[in-house]
Amino acid sequence: MLDARFVAEDPELVRDHLARRQSDEATLAIPARIAELTERRKTLLQTAEAGRATRNQLSPQIGRMMKEGNREEADALKLQVKTASDAVKAADEELDGIESERESLLMALPNLLHDDVPEGKGEHENVEVRRWGAPPEMDFTPKPHDELAADLGLLDQEQSARISGARFAVLHGDLARMERALINFFVDTHTRDHGYKEVMVPYVVWRTAMEGTGQLPKFEQDAFKLSEPLNGQDAFLIPTAEVPVTNLFRGELMQAEDLPKALVCFTPCFRSEAGSYGKDTRGLIRQHQFHKVEMVRITTAENAEAEHEALTGHAEAMLKSLGLHFRTVALCSGDVGFSASRCYDLEVWLPGQQAFREISSCSLFGDFQSRRMKMRYRPDGEKSKPRFCHTINGSGLAVGRTLVAILENYQQADGSVIVPEVLRGYMGGLDRITKLD
């Protein structure tokens, strides 16, 4: 969430950021409306304060006048007190409406863009920052992952369709084993080599948690909502571990020396994919349920950019360890996500598609999320004024998409798949996946 005072003081600046994001006209009008509401709020606060002061000043005099027999003067004061009280009541009622509308509008505003974000209208204008490795040399036509895995008897989407419908999958044998191996490899590496603390979290969260990280209200259509309240509140299946992990520090006041907080978490993720009709209907690319290992870093304002680069490097290290060709791209202004101020996407090469596809997004949020969650730190000890933390997260990695990348990049002419060396210890020494008997 943006600071209401900042938006009201410079609505044109905020509007410029929205225009860079290719926002629609309704969103572009929000900053000016917030400024208008803020000005009206100031007037109403002054009216209410003046009314209360009048009431407090005159009320004690009424009783004294009544005792002295000055009924006419007392009645006149009563009328003034009533007028003041009515003005206070009217002002308070209008203030309640203004606060509600202003809060709703602030929740609808995306984050401001970082100065380094390149200009562009959409994903085709994202800027490549670097790339690593090279596509594997193949003297045969590579298969797409779903065809390859089905031929091996390891992927069955007809079975999943019978029990859950489209955009689910059943993995068998060594493919299921590799999914589990990837989860363990990612978490082990991040905790051992990159300094993250592992956590396990609930897979169901309240609306307030989803609002805290910016999934709601903007993306409610993409979320799976429980049909009944949970402990009295609306609840949702998590779309990413970012939501429960970042909210672990909701409402906390930390010391700068205790930051950064670096957490890694494996969870299943659940997304309705409401806006992706017709996209990636085959295979494992875009599923309603998928596994992901998420990295979250909570830090100070001064260190946020360096921490963002570090987290991105940790995600890149996973792809390098697996020997997968990838590129890192800086998302342009029209493609940066709602809550992020800057974002890198890691895109892995898929020979079966002859294309790079996203496998991790590493986002810097500034204080956008922590302002919603009231997550703060003291920069200079107990007596210093608290500041909002800065948050960062990224996939380290999306497990299903990594499985896709391994299948397509390590496939052989005979239809088998070589197991990357770093995974063999997690798979009992298995070095090649062959057709399931």
Catalytic residue among 358, 378, 387, 416: 358
Percent of the chain with pLDDT over 70: 98
- Each residue of 77-86: b (16+ CB within 10 Å) or e? beebbeebee
With 0-12 / 13-18 / 19 or more C-beta atoms within 10 angstroms meaning exposed / middle / buried, residue 31 is buried
CATH 3.30.930.10 domain locations along the chain: 123-433
Q: Which CATH code is given to the segment(s) 123-433?
A: 3.30.930.10
Q: Looking only at Cα atoms, what is the longest distance across the chain?
A: 110
pLDDT at 382: 76
Please state, in angstroms and rounded to a whole number, the distance separating the CA atoms of residues 279 and 286: 8
What stretches of 155-270 adopt beta strand conformation (E)? 155-156, 170-171, 197-198, 204-206, 235-237, 253-255, 261-270
The pLDDT, as a whole number, for residue 84 is: 84
Confidence at residue 180, expressed as pLDDT on a 0 to 100 scale: 97
pLDDT tens for each residue of 23-62? 999 999 999 999 999 999 999 999 999 988 888 887 777 7
Q: Is 271 a catalytic residue?
A: yes
Instruction: Assess whether 131 carries a catalytic annotation.
Output: no
Q: In terms of C-beta density within 10 A (0-12 exposed, 13-18 middle, 19 or more buried), how is residue 66 classed?
A: middle
**Catalytic residue check, 361:** yes
Question: Per-residue pLDDT averaged across 308-331, rounded?
Answer: 98
Question: What residues pair up with 236 in beta bridges, in sequence order?
Answer: 205, 225
pLDDT bin (cut points 50, 70, 90) of residue 81 is confident
Whole-number Å distance between alpha carbons of 370 and 212: 7
Question: How sure is the predictor about 277, in pLDDT bands with cuts at 50, 70 and 90?
Answer: low
Q: How far is CA 49 from the centre of its chain?
A: 40
Cβ atoms of residues 396 and 293 within 8 Å: yes
Return the bridge partners of 253, or none. 376
CA distances from 337 to 130, 263, 283 (A): 21, 22, 25
Decide: 300 and 377 in contact? Cβ < 8 Å: yes
Chain segment 238-274, per-residue pLDDT in tens? 999 999 999 999 999 999 999 999 999 999 999 997 6
5 included as an active-site residue? no
Give whole-number Cα distances, 326 to 61, 219, 274, 403, 415, in Å. 80, 29, 28, 14, 23
pLDDT at 280 > cutoff 70: no
CB-based contact 395:360 (threshold 8 Å):
yes
What average pLDDT does this structure show over 175-204?
98
Please tell me which residue in 15, 41, 271, 357 is annotated as part of the active site: 271
Which position among 341, 361, 363, 395 bears the catalytic label?
A: 361
Tally Cβ neighbours within 10 Å of residue 104. 11
pLDDT band per the 50, 70, 90 thresholds, residue 195: very high
Rounded Cα gap, residues 62 and 140, in angstroms: 98
pLDDT at 82: 86
HEC string for 418-434 = ECCHHHHHHHCCCCEEC
| pLDDT category of residue 6 using cuts at 50, 70 and 90 | very high
**pLDDT on residue 276:** 56
Q: Pairing relation of β-strands 376-378 and 253-255? A: parallel
Please give the pLDDT value at position 398: 97
Q: Residue 154: which pLDDT band, with cuts at 50, 70 and 90?
A: very high
State the pLDDT at residue 14. 98
The confidence band for 88, taking pLDDT boundaries of 50, 70 and 90, is confident
User: Of the residues 177, 371, 372, 401, which is catalytic?
Assistant: 401
- Count Cα atoms within 13 angstroms, Cβ side, for 419: 21
Mean pLDDT of the chain: 94
Categorize the per-residue pLDDT at 71 as very low, low, confident or very high, splitting at 50, 70 and 90: confident
Let me know if 180 is a catalytic residue: no
pLDDT tens for residues 378-408? 998 778 899 999 999 999 999 999 999 999 9
Give the model's pLDDT for residue 279. 67
Residue 275: pLDDT above 80? Answer: no
User: What pLDDT shows up at residue 281?
Assistant: 65
Question: Which among 33, 55, 286, 378 is annotated as catalytic?
Answer: 286
CATH architecture type of domain 4-108: Orthogonal Bundle (1.10)
Q: CATH 1.10.287.40 in the chain, residues?
A: 4-108
